[in-house]
Structure 1
Amino acid sequence: MKFALFSQVALRENIPKYNLRKGITGTIVEKSPMPENQ
């Protein structure tokens, strides 16, 4: 999935390892390439 810079986004699932909960919102401010194995 690709997002434009400065788009508002929301998590679709919990990420307990980082204490992030479904529904938390954020803004895309920088993009980094993702390694092929992820």
Structure 2
Amino acid sequence: MPCVVVDGRRVEWDELGRMLMTFEGWQFKLELCDPSDEI
């Protein structure tokens, strides 16, 4: 299962959903990266 990393911290999908609901109405950037690429 793909993982989600927020500010360098691994986050479970349900936790990400709760985080997004807390900041409803705010903008955020979703970036999909290949693990072999440098960030």
TM-score computed with the length of structure 1 as normaliser: 0.25
- From the two aligned structures, give the one with the greater helix fraction: 2
